[in-house]
Structure 1
Amino acid sequence: MNLTIYLVTDDKYFKDRDLISTIEQAIQGGVTAVQYRFKNKSSRQMYEELLVLRELTRRYGVDLVVNDRVDLALAVEADGVHVGSQDLPPDVVRKLVGDKMYIGYSVNSVEALREVEHLPIDYIGFGSVYETTTKENYKLVGIEGLRQACKMTTKPVIAIGGIMPYRVKEVVEAGAKGIAVVSAILGFEDVKKAAQSLVEAYKRVVKDKIYMP
């Protein structure tokens, strides 16, 4: 599991661009994991896209995580599956996937974090750390909330929400083990360059600990 620079997809950024070539460019820029997250596609379309992404991510040695859909994650032999409070409970997910893949879980408050420590999950997606345009209904936890969260749990915390290169230092120093981003990469025409900017910002903070595909 390497979620250092963790790219999360989103419907609105793929209306006029090719999914596979865009993801490949981001991987070439240094992304270490890709979460496939779409809300407006058919199961068949997602399955077919995931098959191609599975081959692509394997070729580059990058993790593939599927959001929400445990069935699709199993069907394409993804590395991980990510769920939230409205999805299948993590203990049920664990029964389905066994030890074949790791499980991520979204948490958006320090209070909620106390309730998930016992769950059979491998990492926590925590945010939104900053204001974001990716989600309409989000809860702002702030950098102080992230700092508290990282101290409260023994599980790796992956920060998400409004993280740009100039904020990487603050996020990593707060204790985050990885940075999940959407617009910081997909919001730019040159996604490879955008990914490189995040990698370089991370390397300035955590020297020699980043995996480069």
Structure 2
Amino acid sequence: MNLFVYLVTDDKYFKDRDLVSTIEQALQGGATAIQYRFKNKSARQMYEELLVLRELTKRYGADLVVNDRVDLAMAVGADGVHVGKQDLPPDVVRKIVGDSMYIGYSVNSVEELKEVDHLPIDYIGFGSVYETTTKENYKLVGIEGLRQAVKLTSKPIVAIGGITHYRVKKVLEAGAKGIAVVSAILGFEDVKKATQSLVEACRSVHRERFFMP
């Protein structure tokens, strides 16, 4: 499980750009995981795209995670599946996937985290840490909420929501094990460069943390 720089796809960013070449640019820039998340495609189209992305992520040594669709994740041999409150419950997902992949779960508040920490999930997507334009209806947890969440669980937390390269330092110092982003990469024409900027911001925090005297 390598969710250090975790790109989540979104329908609105692929209206006029090619999915595969865009994802490859992000992988070239250093993205460590890709979450395939689309709401307006047929199962057949998603399956065919995922087959291509599965080979692509393997080539770059990155993880492939499928949002919501456990069936598609199993069909293409994804590394992980990500679910939320409106999807199949994590214990049901675990029965289906066994140990073949890891399970992520979206949490939108500290209170909710307390209720789900016992579930068979491997990481928690926590946010929105900052204001975001990607989702219309979201709860703002803030950086302080992130700090509290990290203290409440032993599971790795991936922060999401409004994270940009200049906010990476605060997010990682708050205890997040990784950052999940959409517009911070896909909102730029040069996807590779945008990804590199995030990766470098993450690495600089780790250099400070582990190598400063």
User: 1:208 deviation in Å?
Assistant: 9.5
3-state SS, counterpart of residue 114 of structure 1? helix
Q: Deviations over 1:25-57 (max 9, x none)?
A: 000001000000000000000000000000100
Aligned pairs (5 A) from 1:167-186: 167-186=167-186
Q: Deviations over 1:174-196 (max 9, x none)?
A: 00000000000000000000000
Task: Give the aligned residue type for 1:106.
Answer: S
Percent identity reads 84
Answer 1 or 2: higher relative contact order, Cα 8 Å, separation at least 6: 1
Q: Deviations over 1:98-157 (max 9, x none)?
A: 000000000000000001111000000000000000000000000000000011100000
Partner of 2:188: 188
State how far apart, in whole Å, the 1-side matches of 2:118 and 2:102 are: 15
Q: Please, what TM-score do these two structures have when normalized by structure 1?
A: 0.97
3-state SS, counterpart of residue 66 of structure 1? strand
3-state SS, counterpart of residue 206 of structure 1? helix
Partner of 1:43: 43
The runs of 4+ residues in structure 1 deviating greater than 6 Å are none
3-state SS, counterpart of residue 140 of structure 1? coil
3-state SS, counterpart of residue 130 of structure 1? coil
State how far apart, in whole Å, the 1-side matches of 2:208 and 2:12 are: 35
State how far apart, in whole Å, the 2-side matches of 1:103 and 1:36 are: 14
Partner of 2:22: 22
User: 1:207 deviation in Å?
Assistant: 2.3
Structure 1 residue ranges without an equivalent (≥5): none
Aligned residues: 209
Aligned pairs (5 A) from 1:145-164: 145-164=145-164
Task: Give the aligned residue type for 1:200.
Answer: E
3-state SS, counterpart of residue 86 of structure 1? coil
